[in-house]
Chain A
Amino acid sequence: MTIFAFEAQESWLQTVAGKVCSAVEVEEATLHLHFGATQPDENAMLTAERTVSMHGVWRIERAEELVAGSGDLETNGAASRLAFITGATLERFEVSQPGFDLDLFFSGQVVVRSFPCNAREYAEDDIEDDTDITVSWWIDGVGVPDDWEEHYDPPGV
């Protein structure tokens, strides 16, 4: 089921490719990359046309430089440190199996990598409680349903 969730998220990535990053936020262990028009929500966090979020283990590279990593990035001031991504275009993405590693390749030789490393994320069994579905990265935005499982037809079904 959680693999199903990853596959559903992967299906939305195509809608982000080619878009320009408009803002970056860091919320505790989660990195949010916003694309398109943004506006603040009731919690003063941004919502956007598209948002790619990474939770857990991630790293940002620029050419041969390591810019930021989830292991030692302090939330305070992180967004300003990562502001250089704003204005960069998401040129392409790669999702690698079996781990659903996500690599986002931006203009300016910027690469943002997510490294899922909890085997629970790869459970194929049915999960009774939706809160047990865990993925390390996901897509939000206009037209992206929260109840994605109601709107996704997995391949071969």
Chain B
Amino acid sequence: MASGFQTIGKNTMTRQAFEAQTRLVQRLTGRTCSQVAIGDNDELVIDFGELEQTGPGEFDGEAWLIVECPWRLETDTDVLCGWENEEDEIPEKTSVLIGHQAGEATVRRPGFDLTLRFANGYRLRVFPDCVSYYADDTASLSIPWYVGGKVITEAEKG
């Protein structure tokens, strides 16, 4: 899934968007990672479920998670790679997730730090580091991690 910022409409509060994403990220639990990539804007893109071709050489999963802020992939004892690693190192390192189910997703407030666990013992840690994400009155809002895909309905997106 390749995408830029998810821009949310004028006068929408980013905290509401974060809360919505906190609910939606639970939909990844039990789904199998099918693809991991770095997008055009250096975002981390993790696809889940069956892949469907959307363009020449482009495939989307049934569900996906996009991360546009600092992240780290780790086990209980080791760090595999992270946001500041060289871009060409990341696809190979993150490929350990492919074929494994997402488990529990937890979100720590007030920063909306996401931890997504995988069945093979890896976990993705996401650490938003821009205060502007949390502004309540910004005209054009963006949030640093979000989920989507055809398994998530427009009604669920709110």
Contact = CB atoms under 8 A, between A and B. Distances in A.
Whether A associates with B in a native complex is yes
Contacts of A115: 70, 72, 125, 127, 129
A57 to B, nearest CB: 4
Interface string B56-94: 000000000000011110111111111111000100010
Contacts of A71: 69-70, 128-130
Contact of A98 (B74, B89, B129): B74
Contacts of B70: 57, 71, 115, 117
B20 to A, nearest CB: 18
Interface residues of A, number: 28
A115 B124 CA distance: 13
A69 B76 CA distance: 26
A136 to B, nearest CB: 9
A1 interface: no
Interface string A99-122: 100000000000001011111111
A87 interface: no
Contact of A59 (B77, B83, B125, B127): B127
A65 B110 contact: yes
A61 B111 contact: yes
A117 B72 contact: yes
Nearest to B84: A118
Contacts of A67: 131
A121 B83 CA distance: 12
B127 A57 contact: yes
A65 B6 CA distance: 23
25 contacts: A56-B84, A57-B129, A58-B129, A59-B111, A59-B127, A59-B129, A65-B110, A66-B111, A68-B131, A69-B131, A70-B129, A72-B132, A97-B76, A97-B77, A98-B74, A98-B77, A99-B79, A113-B127, A115-B70, A117-B127, A119-B81, A119-B82, A119-B85, A121-B79, A122-B79
Pick the 9 closest A-B CB pairs, nearest first. A117-B82, A71-B130, A118-B84, A71-B129, A115-B127, A69-B129, A72-B130, A57-B70, A117-B83
Interface of B: 69-72, 74-85, 89, 93, 109-111, 125, 127-134
Given A64-B110, A117-B71, A119-B89, 15 more contacts: A56-B84, A58-B129, A59-B111, A61-B110, A63-B110, A67-B131, A69-B129, A71-B128, A71-B130, A72-B131, A99-B72, A115-B125, A115-B129, A117-B84, A119-B81
